Amino acid sequence: MLSGEEFGRLFETFERTAFRLETLSVYDVEEEREEFERFLAGGDMGPDWDDNPWVRSMTDKGKEVSRVHVLRSPLTDYLRYELAAYPGNVTAGETIGIVDQAEQDATDLPNHDFWLFDDQDVYRMNYTPEGAFIGAELLPAHKLAEYQGYRDRALTEAVPFAEYWERHH
């Protein structure tokens, strides 16, 4: 199981593509707490929200970063915060789709997060019930096709973020 720091290094070493399936309604991220409180208070979120530098650090090198977030409206405060940051990720080059289970059935997708790097390495993300990151587990090679299928289905079923945001914001 990789720690947060060890897992973070994968974003510097993948060569072509990084895909994430997100499934939680709350992520308990220590580094986000102050920003989350500022968001809830209606404060200025700063320039990183307009063009996410973390995403840009990958897309400027020609790498593709994408995600599908499986959620259920009405949105939690945390999901409102996270989705409000997505336009800056899109500006920086990330492709984001939304599967809202209140509007469409996504039972054929897993109920856990994963990252798929370069279409060859799958990491299952493990969290506490409160959404705190525990670690990333590299899945065995025989699971690859299953998770490629999940990715493909998620991308097919997802509504493009801009379209979802326009309807729900």
Confidence of residue 164 (pLDDT cuts 50, 70, 90): very high
Going from the N-terminus, what domains does the chain have, and what CATH number goes with each? 4-168 (3.30.870.10)
Confidence band (pLDDT; 50, 70, 90) for 168? confident
Whole-angstrom distance, CA of residue 40 vs CA of residue 43: 8
Query: With pLDDT > 70 as the criterion, what percentage of the chain qualifies?
Result: 100
Is 90 exceeded by the pLDDT of residue 139?
yes
Q: Backbone phi, then psi, for 13, in 5-degree steps?
A: -110, -15
> What is the average pLDDT across 76-86?
95
**Residues with Cβ within 8 Å of residue 112, at least 6 apart in sequence:** 23, 124, 125, 126
Average pLDDT score, the chain: 95
pLDDT interval class at 48 (50, 70, 90): confident
Q: What is the Cβ-side half-sphere exposure of residue 85, based on CA atoms within 13 angstroms?
A: 19
Q: % helix / strand / coil in the chain, to the nearest 5?
A: 40, 25, 35
| Per-residue pLDDT at 106 exceeds 80 | no
Other residues' Cβ atoms within 10 Å of the Cβ of residue 164: 22
Residue 65 has pLDDT above 80, yes or no: yes
